[in-house]
Structures are given as C-alpha cells and as structure tokens.
C-alpha cells in the first residue's frame, strides 16, 4: 500500500490528526519528527515541517525520499487574499506561486523557470486530489464556503492591506501563506501528486495579528475534518 504524506507547518495543524493515528511510530530526521502509522486504513506519514519555504521543502523531500510518499496533502491555515473570502472559508490549491521570488532586476520580463517543464512558475496541484479535497470539504464543512484558487507563498507573515492587494493583483491569488508553493515545487520535481488545503484564519490585513490566534484553532479543526474525509474516500 502506498504511503501518503500529510504535512502541516505548526503543531496546531497536525495535533488533531496525530491523536487519530494507529500503530504510531516516531522517527526524527533533520530535527523534524515524522509520525508513521495507519489513519483511516491508509499508510501515512504525518509531520510538522516548521514555518517557511526552506523548512517545508526539506520536510517534503524527506517524506518523498525516505518515507517513499506517493501522494502529498499539505494542510493548515492561511490569510485571505480575496475580499469576498471570509475567515474559516476553505481554499484548495488550483496552483501555487512563490510571490517573493523575483529576478526581474536581472532578467527583465524574462522569467527564470524554477521547475523544468513548467513555464510560468505556477505549480499545478493534482486534479484528482483537488476534486477529492473539494468533495470532502463540501461534505464536512457546513457553515463556510469552499473555493479552488491560486495560493501565493512567501517567507513573510502578511499583515498589510496594501501588500495583500499587490499580491492579489499581480498573482491573482485567493490565499497567502508561507509553505505551500515550496511543497508543490519539490513535489513537481519528484513527479509526486500533491494538493494544498488552507482554512482561512485571517484577512492578511492590519487585523491579522489579532485574528490569527483567535481563529487558528477553528481553522485547524476544519482542515483535520477535510483530510480525514479525503483519506476515507481515497483510491
């Protein structure tokens, strides 16, 4: 049976899932603890990558190379980049982009391609996993909406409305976070299907510092429900 990697950036994003794993085994590599076991009769490895693009890239690489993960689900919270999206709504990755990667001063309009075979640096999530995430979210999330949209990733916690507008206008993103595109970047390099599921914890504006800790628990609980439902129905 193939192994599914489930990745979150913070403790709050994996704690609920960790408590449900059967035959759990803890393995530490590069300071990251990997929880290996069974969840919904699936072989899984669950891990907290740590915050930011480098941590999540390292964690994803280990999950693929050492634990032989054949599918990757990254779950957690994000800031809204669309004024029509509300806190606790769900954004599933259509594709992802690194909003803080910029070589324009060096090469002008020419884009430095980061992954061979992908000419726009928007990393497409796996279509089957997108649809599975969507149907699972719509089944278990009753009070909020579910969107499939572009997610923008950068090594910054955004709490500035002007910066949000800039990212939305330039990248047409619906959510902003700090790990997803680097997970997608690595997954595409290894040709491993992936999807990123984000529950919105804040509007990424001047209230983000207040909203984030207030709603992160609810947002994480929503993400957990979706992942469990996905595993139950995964082929």
Query: From the candidates 149, 202, 211, 229, which is the catalytic residue?
Result: 202
Active-site residue flag, 95: no
Determine the Cα angle at 94 with ends 182 and 39, to 5°.
Answer: 70
Contact of 122 with 96, CB cutoff 8 Å: yes
Q: Out of 13, 89, 95, 149, which one is annotated catalytic?
A: 13
Question: Do β-strands 194-202 and 69-80 pair in parallel, antiparallel, or remain unpaired?
Answer: parallel
> The tokens of 49 are what?
């990558």
Locate 156 and state its tokens: 């910054």
Listed in sequence order, the DSSP H helices in 141-207 are 161-171, 180-189
41 tagged catalytic: no
CB of 93 closer than 8 Å to CB of 177: no
Separation between Cα atoms, residue 204 and residue 60, nearest integer Å: 26
* β pairing state of 123-124 and 90-98: antiparallel
User: What residues are labeled active site?
Assistant: 13, 202
């Amino acid at each position: 049976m193939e192994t599914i990697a489930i990745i979150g950036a913070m403790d709050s994003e994996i704690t609920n899932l960790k408590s449900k794993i059967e035959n759990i085994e803890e393995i530490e590599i590069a300071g990251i603890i990997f929880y290996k076991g069974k969840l919904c009769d699936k072989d899984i490895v669950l891990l907290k990558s740590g915050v930011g693009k480098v941590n999540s890239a390292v964690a994803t690489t280990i999950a693929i190379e050492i634990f032989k993960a054949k599918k990757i689900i990254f779950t957690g919270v994000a800031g809204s980049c669309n004024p029509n999206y509300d806190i606790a709504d769900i954004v599933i990755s259509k594709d992802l982009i690194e909003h803080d990667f910029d070589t324009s001063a060096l090469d002008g309009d020419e884009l430095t391609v980061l992954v061979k075979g992908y000419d726009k640096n928007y990393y497409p999530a796996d279509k089957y996993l997108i649809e599975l995430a969507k149907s699972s979210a719509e089944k278990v999330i009753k009070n909020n909406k579910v969107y499939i949209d572009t997610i923008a990733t950068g090594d910054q916690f955004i709490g500035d409305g002007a910066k949000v507008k800039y990212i939305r206008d330039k990248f047409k993103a619906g959510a902003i976070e700090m790990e997803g595109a680097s997970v997608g970047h690595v997954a595409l390099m290894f040709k491993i299907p992936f999807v990123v599921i984000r529950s919105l914890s804040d509007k990424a504006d001047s209230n983000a510092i207040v909203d984030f800790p207030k709603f992160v628990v609810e947002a994480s609980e929503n993400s957990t429900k979706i992942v469990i439902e996905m595993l139950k129905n995964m082929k």
